[in-house]
Amino acid sequence: MHLILLGPPGAGKGTQARMMERYYRIPQISTGDILREEVAAGSTLGKLANSFMKKGSLVPDEVVIEVIEERLSRPGYARGYILDGFPRTLAQAEALDRVLGLAGPGIDLVLSLVLDEEELVQRLAGRRVCERCAEVFHLSFRSPRSPGICDSCGGPLVQREDDREETIRRRLQVYKSETAPLIDYYRREGKLKEISAVGNPEAVKERIDQVLKGSFGL
Ligand code: AMP
């Protein structure tokens, strides 16, 4: 199962990717998480990436493409993967097709999460993430058992720098101009399935499960 989770920031891609990873036992790859790890480690890549991320802009294609190529070349992805947050531009989608075309099976399905803008802003502004394991919580919709502490690993919950209101608006703008065209790209390839992201994570996962059942007989 080689999947892409597509959708605007705040639609729940990361939450769904993690739930699917646990349920289907297929690894998820989040370019956002990889880049944030590099930022935290203070690497050259992290410093470069952070100069774009903190403004809500995209990290340049060639940088992210190299990151994903390196990751996909590692062992552990033989049964498939769930890509979260990649590709985000047409150039990235074409690069992915090229890389996968050389290496074996291509993308089977693209799940496009759909949610209206006001709800996206609400979700992003209340989001808190675990600094240690990147698990996602929400002040109103998914509060942790103890305030400020991750249910999964006990790590501290923080607000992402790019989840502040003014950066959120910029990220949504970037999504519309750079990433939304991928919806048509994958629709033309016959791989697109649109999924309503309304409701709690379990409700959205249920919709995804139905689609995967229909497509893969799972
Ligand atoms: P995310 O966690 O997916 O919301 O990503 C957070 C930030 O990381 C984005 O706003 C971008 O600055 C950067 N980023 C993550 N994935 C990509 C990508 N595929 N292309 C360019 N920038 C990315």
Query: Looking at the 3D structure of the chain, how many domains does it have?
Result: 1
Instruction: Over range 124-139, report the average pLDDT.
Output: 93
Is 140 a member of any domain?
Answer: no
Direct distance between the N- and C-terminal alpha carbons of the chain, in angstroms, rounded to an integer: 10
Burial of 63 (0-12, 13-18, 19+ CB in 10 A): middle
**127 classed as catalytic:** yes
Is 129 a member of any domain?
Answer: no
Tokens of 143: 């509060």
Domain harbouring 8, CATH code = 3.40.50.300
Is 120 a member of any domain?
Answer: no
Kindly calculate the radius of gyration of the chain based on its CA atoms and give it in whole angstroms.
17
Give the pLDDT score at 78: 79
Which numbered atom of ligand 1 lies nearest the CA of 31? 16
Q: Is residue 46 lining ligand 1, measured as CB closer than 6 Å?
A: no
Cα–Cα distance for residue pair 47/145, rounded to 1 Å = 34
Give the pLDDT score at 100: 87
The pLDDT confidence band at residue 141, using thresholds 50, 70 and 90, is confident
Cα–Cα distance for residue pair 146/169, rounded to 1 Å = 30
| C-alpha dist (Å) from residue 28 to 31, 116, 164 | 10, 25, 26
Q: Which residue minimizes the CA distance to atom 6 of ligand 1?
A: 32
Is 149 a member of any domain?
Answer: no
Q: Which domain holds residue 34?
A: 2-115+179-216
The pLDDT confidence band at residue 103, using thresholds 50, 70 and 90, is low
Is 173 a member of any domain?
Answer: no
Is 79 a member of any domain?
Answer: yes
- Rounded to the nearest angstrom, the distance between the alpha carbon of 217 and the centre of ligand 1 is 32
**13 classed as catalytic:** yes
Is 174 a member of any domain?
Answer: no
Residues of the chain above pLDDT 90, percent = 88
**171 classed as catalytic:** yes
Judge whether residue 214 has pLDDT over 70. yes
Is 47 a member of any domain?
Answer: yes
Q: Is residue 10 lining ligand 1, measured as CB closer than 6 Å?
A: no
